[in-house]
Chains A and B, each alone.
Chain A
Amino acid sequence: MSVELAKGFYGAYGGRYVPETLVPALDELEAGWSEIKDDPGFQLELESLQATYVGRPTPVYLAERIGDGKRIYLKREDLCHTGAHKINNALGQALVARRLGKQRIVAETGAGQHGVAAATVCARFGLECVVYMGSEDMERQRPNVERMHLLGAEVQPVEFGTKTLKEATSEAIRDWITNVESTHYMIGSCVGPHPYPELVRDLQSVIGREAREQMLAAEDRLPEAVVACVGGGSNAIGLFAGFLDDKDVRLVGVEAAGAASLGAGRAGVLHGARSSLLADEDGQIADAHSISAGLDYPGVGPEHAFLRDTGRAEYRAATDDEALAAFHLLAQREGIIPALEPAHALARALDLDADLVLVGLSGRGDKDLATVLSR
């Protein structure tokens, strides 16, 4: 029995810590995903939609005017349809939901990027869409709330607790428990119970696959370091996936300083998985604090906790002010307004002791204008 459970683990992390009601649905999802992921028909449809609907492959761009002599490349996920990497996962999961016969989608969102991606693919596939969002996040990410409404999704405010991504995720899971027969839970990051971390990693790994080829084409060598921001960690795990086997390539994840689940966390259980969390000594989950709603989460994907422990990846932090400085720098020197989330990655990439660096620019910053301008 423990052997069977171990298949959903990354070292000591991962697993399934959920109410029994959900276990059969997770089994069904796991079976469905393993059945279709290697199905040529599915791959063809996914690749075709990635090319014509999402806008893949996204380019890597050499940001020559920043970095002070370093060669900093940006993997431009901000150019994806809907403005962030979240669509890669949402699109794949919509195809899975359709295959499983689920007509209703629930999702959680922090910054609103995953909510918009979920609402977008639900419009495209004619699925009902309910997105849970903390009321504090709804305030600071107003444009994304309006986009979700335009796309026909219902946005459910979550008014209790931290009123951010943590509570929105709990409420989405509670909805799923209640409507599990008709509903697919479209989780937005590589967190949650098995098989979600694996499913999301598989769907986001297109970022790393493309980026590796593009770096070889542009530089005829691999980058010294690959840097990405980590909230739940889906853009990082997708980008890292392309370089995991390249032992000489450093993998650097950057957390928000006030939400450093890997840097300042301890092992615990949240939202269905064992991982590294911001929690107190009794296992009560602590509040995270970040200017960036997408990083404002006390947990992280279990695979990141595993990569940290094994030393394959290193994790650092950037403060709100450092992220803001990088945000302005990229806007003013390169004409690219990044989301505040990847601005954290950029901040650490700029002072990293490496000369050829690839940074995951996971999303664009339109959604953050109100936050930035109010500072």
Chain B
Amino acid sequence: MKRLSVYLMAGPETPELAEAAVAGGADLLEFGFPFSDPLADGPVIRLAGERALAQGMRTQACLECLAETRARVEVPLIPMTYASILEAYGYERFQADAEAAGATSLIVADLPIEAAPEVKRVQLVAPTTPTERVKLAAEGTDGWLYLVSLTGTTGARAEVSSQLAGLVERARAVTDVPLLAGFGISTPAQAAEAASLADGIVVGSRAVEVAHEGGPEALREYVASLRAALQGEAGPLREEQAHASASD
């Protein structure tokens, strides 16, 4: 079965939203710790971050929210944030406290492969990443590789990026770790198309938007529609590996 990862921004409703996303069929949840200047994000997640900060979702509050979410769901919960948050909190302290709150691994959008090697995390690669760097990222990554499917910021697009197929092909040639494609995937049709190439998909902006506008029930339905679209896709053998590494 293909993996489905759903991104949610930390906030008072997040535990309930997380439960709904899992009920809809999410296998993993990315848990956004908001940052004031998110370079990799388009308008939807940037605005969600502004709302979260206005609600007081600073690092400590996010960790508490993470723990509350962990109490409600079993799937891997992966904090996703920016280096400034870790700089201020302390990289190792952040890792330890996030893990204590129930986190599984970490994603830092502006920490390239070479930076902070002591911080075990899910690495990102992009269409611009040379194959030797993809290999380096795969060797250092924590369980799976996040494929940024396009050159751009997060946010819905009209079509799945034409750059994704080439990136998947290059990654497959150098690694066996599961490949999850994100950025610009929002509709069930796009989910199916991207999942026909990769081992799974990540939806962020559209999930955040649906959750903000329609609450848990709308999110559950949206995630279920993505799940249904992925069912048609035969899962690769890599699934077991993804599960093993993502849930330890």
Q: What residues make up the interface of A, taking CB atoms closer than 8 Å to B?
A: 1-2, 4-5, 15-25, 160-161, 166, 170, 173-174, 177-181, 266-272, 274, 279-285
Contact = CB atoms under 8 A, between A and B. Distances in A.
Contacts of A16: 112, 114-115
A5 B115 contact: yes
B126 interface: yes
Nearest to B140: A1
B67 interface: no
B112 A270 contact: no
B231 interface: no
A270 B128 contact: no
Contacts of B85: 282-283
**Of A2, A20, A179, A180, which is in contact with the most chain B CB atoms at under 10 Å from its CB?**
A20
Contacts of B84: 268-270, 279, 283-285
A23 B133 CA distance: 10
B233 to A, nearest CB: 26
Contacts of A161: 36, 50
Nearest to A19: B40
Interface string B109-127: 1111111010000011111
A181 B39 contact: no
A268 B84 CA distance: 6
Interface in B11-63: 35-37, 39-40, 42, 46, 50, 53, 58-60
Given A21-B152, A22-B128, A177-B40, 19 more contacts: A2-B114, A16-B115, A17-B111, A17-B115, A18-B112, A20-B123, A20-B128, A21-B151, A170-B39, A177-B152, A180-B128, A267-B87, A268-B87, A270-B84, A271-B37, A280-B88, A282-B89, A284-B84, A285-B37
Contacts of B247: none
Nearest to B112: A23
B236 to A, nearest CB: 24
Contacts of A279: 84, 88
Contacts of B148: 19-21
Interface string B57-77: 011100000000000000000
A18 B60 CA distance: 24
Contacts of B124: 19-20
Contacts of A177: 39-40, 151-153
B151 A178 contact: yes
B128 A25 contact: yes
A106 to B, nearest CB: 14
A5 B114 contact: yes
A21 B114 contact: no
B58 A282 contact: yes
Contact of A19 (B35, B58, B117, B126): B126
Nearest to A274: B87
